[in-house]
Amino acid sequence: MVAALFGCWFRVGGARSALVGPVIPVGRTVVQISMSRSQVVLLGLGLLLILLLYVGLPGPPEQTSWLWGDTNVTILAGLTPGNCPIFYREVLPLPQARRVEVVLLHGKAFNSHTWEQLGTLQLLSQRGYRAVAIDLPGFGNSAPSEETRTEAGRAELLQRVLRDLKVHNAVLVSPSLSGHYALPFLMRDHQQLHGFVPIAPTSTQNYTQEQYWAVKTPTLILYGELDHILARESLRQLRHLPNHSVVKLRNAGHACYLHKPQDFHLVLLAFLDHLP
């Protein structure tokens, strides 16, 4: 290949040599490039390496959309009544409504809009679920509230939101920070919940093994494989819930629903579809 490309081999008195390279015309002058044998070999090896690298390099990564749902689903928005209104986004079931309704909380760096961007609200609507995503007090479009200073206040706030929005047979999805609200509610009012989906929530260490044993709510414990701190700590406590299953999302971190949205949605829908 090298000889064909560069024409650098010729004979002098019957012997082969590698002293002359290609002949390149420059105007009316002919310039002859001299190359040593070692230079020719190195150049040939370099070209071969480039060729191998070009063939062996992987193609560009697949472009995956963050949004995984029908963008044509209508998303309603509003504020709950009362002195400390809570902002919410809501979708209604497109086909025949299923029994349970999904309430989506959020982590510290997020708000209800996250579930719209991710396509979770749209997807739940397509599958026949009414779904409500709320902005916790002090996040998104919800003002801070003094009520959230106590555990009882946070549980009562969540209970009031469900009552104001006429949510029945609720399945509560609680990632990260929102465990600060979901767990007090679970311990006090778990009879109102038809299902619970904790995603590495905070505050799990605040309750005893006996308190967890008393909760009979069907629970899907979700966490990311790469979340080595909060996921492990919460899993250690949540395993005391008597009616639970555990799913670990591979190659996903703390906000596993963002890192692996399709896997998250498939697991969530499977849990919801099989609730009695």
- For the annotated catalytic residues, the residue numbers are 176, 227, 254
Residue for token digits 């290609």? 22
Tell me how far apart the alpha carbons of residues 86 and 141 are, in angstroms, rounded to a whole number: 8
Q: Taking a C-beta distance cutoff of 8 angstroms, is the pair 174, 198 a contact? A: yes
| Cα–Cα nearest to 257, from 82, 62, 105, 80 | 105
Q: Across 121-202, where does the E strand assignment appear?
A: 130-134, 170-175, 193-199
The pair of structure tokens assigned to 268 is: 């969530």
The DSSP line for 53-103 is HHHHS--PPPP--S--S-TTS--EEEE-SSSS--EEEEE--SSSPPS-EEE
DSSP state of 28: T
CB 176 within 8 A of CB 201: yes
Amino acid sitting at position 59: G
d(CA 196, CA 275): 11
Q: Give me the residue label for tokens 């390496």.
A: 49
